[in-house]
Structure 1
Amino acid sequence: MFTTPLTAAFLHGTTEVETTARGLRPHRLPLWVRDQFPDPQLLMVEGQPSGVRVVVATSARTVSLVTHPLRVAYRGADRPRGAVDLVVDGEPVASAVLADGDVIEADLATGASEFRPGSSHTTTFDGLPGGDKVVELWLPHNESVELVELRTDAPVTPVEPSRRLWLHHGSSISHGSNATAPTRIWPAVAARLGGVDLHNLGLGGSALVDPFLARVIRDTEADLISLKLGINVVNLDGMRLRTFVPAVHGFLDTIRDGHPDTPIVLASAIFCAIHEDTPGPGAVDPATLGTDQVRFVATGRSEEQRQGKLTLRVIRDALAEVVERRADPNLHYLDGTTLYGPDDAVEHPLPDALHPDTATHGLIGERFARYAFGADGPFAGA
C-alpha cells in the first residue's frame, strides 16, 4: 500500500487549509474572516467541508481515507452521521457513513453542551475500476474533519481543475441540511449535471448578506456565481426591509469589484410555509423535542410586516426589484419557488418544516441545472 500525506494540492472546493497535529483541516472561509468575526455558529458551519473533495489521478483499485471527524449532536434530535462519497471519472459510485470521531452534544432545551473525544476513522472503498482514472472523495457536508492520510494500492497524483468553476453561496439548504450524503446535496447534484466544478459557500444559518462574505466571493476565483438569499434573514429576524435592500445592493457591488462581468444568479428562498407570510425569528418547536422529528416554527406575527419585518414573499419581491433596478445584463433573478413551490410542499413536504430531504435535494438540483445550465440559461456555455 502507498501512504500519501495530503496537501492542499489534493483538495478541490476549499478556501483555505489549516495544518493541525493530525494533518489538515479544510476551511471554507479564510482566516481573516474567522479572526474578524469568530461567531461560534459560523465557525462550526464553515468548518464543515460541504462540497470539498480529495481529488487524485490513480490506477488504484483500493483507496482508504483516514479522517478524524468532529460532529455536533443534539439531545432529543436524531441527526444522520456524515459520509464520505466515492466518485470515479465524474460518476458517484459509493457512499460510506462515518463512525468514531469527537462529538459535541448540545441540549436544545438548556443550551448546555458536552465534549466527548473519540478515535479517528478509516473509510475504505474496494473494487474500483482498473486503469487510470480520476478519483474524488467527497468529504462530509455536515461534520468537520481533519484529514490524516490517504492509503492506496497504487500511486496518486493531484489533479488540476479543468472545468468552469461555479461558486455558490446560500443557507443551510445550500449547505446540505437533511441530505444524507455529500454528493446528494442540491448544489452537488446541479454541478454534476452542469459539468462544472463546485465551490460551495452554503453556510447553515449564515446567509445573512454579511459584508465579509461578499469580500470573500469578490476575491475568490469563479467563472459562475449564484447567491441564494432570504431564509436566514427571515428566521433570524436580522433585518428590516429598509436595511435589507441596500445591504443586497452593497453585497452585489462588492462582488462586482472582483467579478465585473461574471454571470450571477440571485435566487430567493424555496417555498417554506412557516415563513411565507410570517416573520421570524424562527425557533425549534419545543413540543417536538424528544420525538422522532424535530420541527421549526415561526414566532413572529404577520401584521408585523407593516413595521418592515421580512417574510419570504416580501424578500422575493425585493430581490426581483433589486435585479430590475441594477439593469446588469449578467445579473439574473431566480424565484426560488420555481425550484420548490407550494405544490411540491404537498408532494415532498419538508420533514422539519424548514429543510428538504435527500430526494427533494435531488429535485431542486435538477431544476436548478435545467434553469442555469440549459441552452438559454445564464450559465450556458462550453
Structure 2
Amino acid sequence: MPIRVLLVEDSPVALIILKRILSISSDLCVVGTARTGQEALTLVPTVQPDVICTDFHMPQMNGLEFIQEVMVLYPRPILVISASVQADDTHNVFQLLNAGAVDVFPKPKTGLASDYELIGQELIQKIKVLSGVKVFTKHRKSSPPLSSVPVNKLPSIPTPTHDPVARTPFSPPPLSTGVDLSKLSVLCCKTIRMLAIGASTGGPQALHTILTQLPSNFPVPVVCIQHITEGFLQGLVTWLDGECRLSIKIATAGEMPQAGWVYFAPEGHHLELSRNGRFSYSTAPPLGGHRPSVTVTLKSVAQFYGASAAGVLLTGMGRDGADGMKAIAEAGGLTIAQNQDSCVVFGMPAEAIALGAAQYILPVSEIAPFLLNRVKGL
C-alpha cells in the first residue's frame, strides 16, 4: 500500500508544488491537505496519515504548536518542510525536534518550482524513511518552555521505560527496568576514562535526554558521533551547549580530551585518537556510507582506552557503530545499547545486540543514571 501523507502548508503555491513532487512516486499518496495546524489536527484521525509534512509558520496554529498537539493526541512521524529550518536556524530546528518532529527539510530559499524539483527525490526518499519510524505519545507539561527553565532544572524528554534487559556473552548480571542503581556498586570494578556515544535518526532527542542528566563535574570526557545533514552540526552543538551543564563543542584536531567536555565528531571527517590520545581527523573513505562513522571512532577509543572505554549506541538506521561496540566489548570496556521501545529507529542498536556487543540494553532515560553509577569520582 502507498505511504499516506498529510500535507500542512499555508502557501497555495508551495502546496501545489509539493503535491506535484510527491505524485512522482507511486509509493506515496497525499490523503489530505490543510492550511493551518488547527485544520490539520481535525484531519489526522479522519485521513490516518502514515507521515505528516508540515510548514512551520502558519496562521491560527503554527507548526510547533501543531506538532505538540499531534504528539499528545495522534503520534505520527512528522517532517517539517519550511524555509525557517535552514542550517543557521538553530533555535527553530531543535525546538521542533524537541517537540516531537523526527526531521526537518529546508525549502529552497528562492521558492521557485524549478528549485523544488531539484530536491524532489531527496524529499520523497526522506518521507519513505520516516514512514517506518516509530514515535511515542508525548504528555502535556505544565512547566515553562525549555528556553526559560534554569539549566540545572531541565527535564529530560519523556520516553517509555518498560523493556526487559537482555543478557549477552559479555554481560554481567543484566539490569531490569526500575532497578535500584545504588545496589550496583559491586559491579563498579572498572574505571571508565572515556565515554563514546553514537547516534543517527532520532539522535538529537536521545542525546538531549542523556547529556542533560550529566552533571558539570562528570569526570570523564564524552565524544559523540551523530549522523546529521551537512550544515546542521554546529546548530546541534549550540543547542545542546545551551541545554546541558557540560560544555559542548566540535572536537579539534590535536586537542586532548578533557573531563567536563562533550566533543562532537566534525562534519566530513572521521574522528579518531592518536597514539598519545589526542583527537585526529581522517579523510579515509566513508564507512558504510558515513563519514564521520561511529564505528571508526569507537574502534579508535577501544584501541587507546581498552577496558577503560565505555560505548553507547543510540537510535539510528543501518548498522554503523555495531562493529565499534564489539571492539569496545572485546577490549573489556562497557557497552550499552538503547532499547527498542525508546528508539525512533531500532537499527544500529539492534545490529550491536545481534553481534553480542551490547552488555546492557536500556531505555534512553536510564542510560545516564546507569553511567553515573558506574563512573567513579562523583
TM-score normalised by L of structure 2: 0.30
Larger proportion of strand: 1
Which protein, 1 or 2, shows the higher relative CO under an 8 Å CA cutoff with sep ≥ 6? 1
Larger proportion of helix: 2
